[in-house]
């Protein structure tokens, strides 16, 4: 409505095209990695010309950076939701299940981060040592408390969190391998049952 906003950053059409580009970039970057992806592929996927892409984003780097930044929050939400006041086993199993759902529903996002971290996190290295470490430290302290008070078994909280990341994201990141071995069968029902058992047994004091 208002015409006098101090920073009218984006018109409706700009907003719409930016989103289309980000969506297309997610497709391409997650499939080929940063270096493997080309602006041509992204432009095609977005239904725009290459120069038009660069009218909305100043460079290939800029698209990738905005994509990663925008997803970081979504990606860490399940861990943020871990509640110190909830039931320990329920909280941890719930966290694992939400992460597994994300692997099933957002595999491109998982592979985008995997590509980035696998190559040494050249573009989000700072974010890992900063926000991510702070969040993990906070939640690890909660888990350590649960262990100390005997509400769950003695476990190293950091490796427990790593294990949840590794086990759930594996089904998105190594999808090609998992499906090759299972011969096309849907891995997720079996995965959830397995992980439920695994963590239930681990956490019993």
Q: Which residues of the shown chain bind DNA in the complex (CB under 7 A)? A: 11, 13-14, 17, 37-40, 48-52, 54-56, 58-61
Diameter over CA atoms, the chain: 62
End-to-end Cα, the chain, rounded Å: 59
Nearest distance, CB of residue 62 and DNA, angstroms: 8
Residue 86 is encoded by which pair of tokens? Answer: 């909830």
By C-beta, is 33 or 107 nearer to DNA? Answer: 33
Cα distance between residue 119 and residue 43, in whole Å: 25
**C-alpha span between 159 and 167 (Å, rounded):** 12
CB atoms within 10 A of CB 201: 9
Q: Interaction with a second copy in 165-194: which residues (CB under 8 A)?
A: 165-167, 169-171, 173-174, 176-178, 180-183, 187, 190-191, 193-194
- Name 67's Cβ contacts closer than 8 Å, sequence gap at least 6: 22, 25, 26, 29, 112
Q: Between 19 and 185, whose beta carbon lies closer to a second copy?
A: 185
| Rounded Cα distance, 54 and 42, in Å | 11
Residue 14 binding partner per list DNA, a second copy, none, with a CB distance cut-off of 5 to 8 Å that depends on partner kind? DNA
Among 84, 118, 148, 186, binds a second copy (CB under 8 A): 118
Q: Is 121 in the site for a second copy (CB under 8 A)?
A: yes
CB 47 within 8 A of CB 20: yes
Confirm or reject binding of residue 50 to a second copy (CB under 8 A): no
Rank residues 19 and 77 by Cβ distance to a second copy and give the closer one.
77
Binding residues for a second copy, rule: CB under 8 A, are 31-36, 111, 114-115, 117-121, 125, 128-129, 132-133, 136, 155-156, 158-160, 162-163, 165-167, 169-171, 173-174, 176-178, 180-183, 187, 190-191, 193-195, 197-198, 201-202, 204
């Amino acid at each position: 409505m208002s015409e006098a906003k101090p920073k009218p950053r984006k018109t409706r059409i700009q907003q719409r095209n930016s989103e289309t580009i980000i969506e297309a970039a997610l497709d391409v970057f997650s499939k080929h990695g940063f270096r493997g992806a080309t602006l041509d592929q992204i432009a095609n996927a977005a239904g725009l010309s290459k120069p038009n892409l660069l009218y909305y984003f100043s460079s290939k780097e800029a698209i990738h950076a905005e994509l990663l930044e925008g997803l970081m929050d979504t990606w860490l939400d399940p861990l943020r939701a871990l509640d110190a006041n909830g039931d320990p086993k329920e909280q941890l199993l719930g966290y694992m299940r939400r992460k597994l759902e994300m692997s099933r529903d957002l595999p491109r996002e998982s592979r985008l981060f995997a590509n980035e971290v696998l190559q040494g996190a050249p573009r989000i290295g700072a974010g890992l040592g900063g926000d991510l470490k702070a969040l993990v430290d906070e939640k690890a302290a909660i888990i350590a408390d649960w262990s100390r008070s005997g509400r769950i078994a003695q476990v190293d909280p950091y490796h427990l969190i790593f294990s949840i990341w590794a086990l759930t994201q594996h089904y998105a990141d190594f999808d090609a391998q998992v499906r090759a071995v299972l011969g096309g069968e849907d891995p997720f029902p079996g995965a959830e049952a397995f992980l439920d058992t695994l963590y239930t047994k681990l956490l019993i004091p």
